Amino acid sequence: MRNYIAVVFNGTDKAYEGLHALWQLDDEAQITVHGTTVVHRNSWGGFQVDTKDTHPALATAVGVGVGALVGALAGPAGIAVGAARGAAIGAASGGAVGVGADLIRGETRDQAKAETSFVLDDGQSAVIADVSEDSTSAIDSRMRNLGGSVYRRSKGDLRDDAWFDDSYLYPYDYYLYPYEYIPSSSPV
Amino acid sequence: MADTKVKDALDHVRASAQELHGAISDAAAKRGGAVKADLEVIPQKAKAITDSIKGSIGAQNEATKKHLTEAATYLGAVQNHAAEALKSTGKGFQTSVQKALADARASVQEISEAVAAKRLTKPSTTRK
């Protein structure tokens, strides 16, 4: 099975433990990990994605893509929010051409905040991953032991979501790192 | 602690491709853009991974072969884009670096798909 997962933890350190555990499962050949990142929601609701690239345009694409993915992993409620907010960000992005990146970034933050609210509470972090797994038990068991809650949807289901813009699948390739990436500086 | 896991050729190819992507993405993320010195070794590294793929592909199943063939194509593109970057300046340089990065990501993706395809054909065992 090819699945996207979000594993939610109370705190950044636990999330990085979860990230490491996921790659360990890959190393043990129990699953195959195609890409991972860690996202954070601070005490004020601000949403941040671990990424090496600080270019505003890419950061915007990353925020939109990962926010949409996390929302979709939450199931119908998250999808509904994603559908509503997706239209808003589309309009804002078009209107902001020539105005500057701040509006887009502001809208992205709002969108990501709304989309991720069904999965991530303030102060929580989540590991996002694209995995191949024969059964769900390896990840579920390992993450439960670390105190993580697993949200999971198949890649096929995501593609079938009518609102889910296929273009979001391409940013996945850029913000899901194909190895264990932890920023050197504190992300939150 | 010593690593006691037995890794096969495909695992080593994947690790090398992950390292290649890491090197290009680190260079691309540098403030002020990638430094050419960081990119000088990229074409050789990409070629070495391609050679490793060619050396191990014969022993793989069809699904794995397909992904590895795709990976080799992307790695060829990485070589070309990195070589172009080394000959370019300004925007042309940045564009070539971004293309090399995208193709490196695609190559790792294909290799991890190959690993998944290979693991599907094996009983669930540890490699310790």
Residues in chain A closer than 8 A to B27 (CB atoms): none
**For residue B35, what is the DSSP state?**
-
Give domain status of residue B2, yes or no.
no
Domains in chain A, number: 1
**Nearest 5°: phi and psi at B41?**
-90, -10
* Domain range for B53: 9-119
ipTM: 0.87
Residues in chain A closer than 8 A to B105 (CB atoms): 173-174, 178
Give domain status of residue B84, yes or no.
yes
Rounded percentage of chain B residues whose pLDDT exceeds 90: 63
User: What's residue A112's pLDDT?
Assistant: 56
Q: Residue B33 belongs to a domain with what CATH number?
A: 1.20.120
Give domain status of residue A181, yes or no.
no
User: What's residue A159's pLDDT?
Assistant: 73
Residues 20-59 of B with CB under 8 A from A: 21-22, 25-26, 28-29
Subunit contact A32:B127, Cβ cutoff 8 A: no
User: What's residue A92's pLDDT?
Assistant: 36
Q: Each residue of B71-127: pLDDT tens digit? A: 999 999 999 999 999 999 888 988 999 899 999 999 999 999 999 999 887 655 444
* Domain range for A53: 2-175
CA distances from B2 to B5, B6, B122 (A): 9, 12, 26
User: What's residue A98's pLDDT?
Assistant: 29
Give the CA-trace dihedral at B106, B93, A96, A88, to 10 degrees.
10
Domains in chain B, number: 1
Give the CA-trace dihedral at B115, B120, B126, B128, to 10 degrees.
-40
Nearest to B18 among A27, A29, A179 (CB): A179
Subunit contact B28:A53, Cβ cutoff 8 A: yes
Residue of B nearest to A32 (CA): B116
CA distances from B82 to A101, B9, B69, B88, B109 (A): 29, 25, 20, 10, 19
Q: Between these two residues, B21 and A62, which has the higher pLDDT value?
A: B21
pLDDT in tens, chain A (188 residues): 899 999 999 999 999 999 999 999 999 999 999 999 998 888 887 778 887 765 555 655 666 677 777 877 876 655 555 544 443 433 333 323 223 344 444 555 565 556 666 678 889 999 999 999 999 999 999 999 999 999 998 888 877 765 556 555 555 556 789 999 998 875 55
Residue of A nearest to B120 (CA): A134
* Best A34, A141, A155 residue to mutate vs chain B (most B CBs within 10 Å): A34
Residues in chain B closer than 8 A to A178 (CB atoms): 17-18, 21, 105, 108-109, 112
> Which 3 state secondary structure label does DSSP give A125?
strand
Q: How far apart are CA A126 and CA A37, in angstroms?
A: 8
Bridge partners, residue A7, by sequence: A127, A150
Report pTM.
Answer: 0.82
Q: Between these two residues, B52 and A106, which has the higher pLDDT value?
A: B52
Give domain status of residue B128, yes or no.
no
Nearest to A178 among B21, B116, B127 (CB): B21
User: What's residue A162's pLDDT?
Assistant: 55
- A155 at interface of B, judged by CB pairs closer than 8 A: no
Give domain status of residue B68, yes or no.
yes
- Helices (H) and strands (E) in chain A — how many of each? 7, 5
Give domain status of residue B14, yes or no.
yes
Nearest to B109 among A29, A173, A181 (CB): A173
Give domain status of residue B22, yes or no.
yes
- A65 at interface of B, judged by CB pairs closer than 8 A: no
